Amino acid sequence: MTSQSTAEGASPIEALYNQQKRLSGELKSVREIVSDLAWELEDMEGRLAELQQANQDTYTTQIEMEIRHITINRTHVEEQTIRYMLRVDELTERYREIDRLLQTNSPAQHQCNDSSSGVIDNTPLSHTQD
């Protein structure tokens, strides 16, 4: 809640709702990024396994260089994924703090239903291919 939001005519409760709505959108975007990175990691792991098998069958410097390149890129993508996962945790906590404030200050107006919003979900993102 900022003085700017109250200066624009929004009540403190409205400002909290607006902040929560903004956080919800940002949380959705960051989760999509984490999902995309998880898929990218899975693709890298598959390609790496293929190259390692090919390298065992027929060693070439080209395969070895590609293995090294993918391994380095995988490390960067893993680090990036962790950063975004931590951002999801941070945004989720901020969302919950605002939700608690809204429930405390306006319980009749604010009915929080985490399961319908899909926003507060700490289920780890994992991608498996069946």
The Cα–Cα gap between 40 and 38 comes to: 5
Continuous H helices in 58-110:
61-105
Query: Average pLDDT for residues 68-87, to the nearest whole number?
Result: 98
Residue 5: what pLDDT? Answer: 44
Position 57 in a domain: yes
What element of type H or E holds 22?
Answer: helix 12-57
Position 19 in a domain: no
Position 123 in a domain: no
Residue 71 structural domain: 30-107
Residue 54 pLDDT class (50, 70, 90 cuts): very high
Q: Are 108 and 13 in contact (CB under 8 A)?
A: no
Residue 128 has pLDDT above 90, yes or no: no
Position 113 in a domain: no
Position 8 in a domain: no
Position 47 in a domain: yes
Position 20 in a domain: no
> Quick one: what percent of the chain has pLDDT higher than 90?
66
The domain total for the chain is: 1
Residue 108: what pLDDT? Answer: 52
Position 17 in a domain: no
For 4-53, how does the pLDDT look when each residue is reduced to its tens digit (9 = 90+)? 544 456 788 999 999 999 999 999 999 999 999 999 999 999 999 999 99
Residue 130: what pLDDT? Answer: 35
Give the global pTM.
0.71
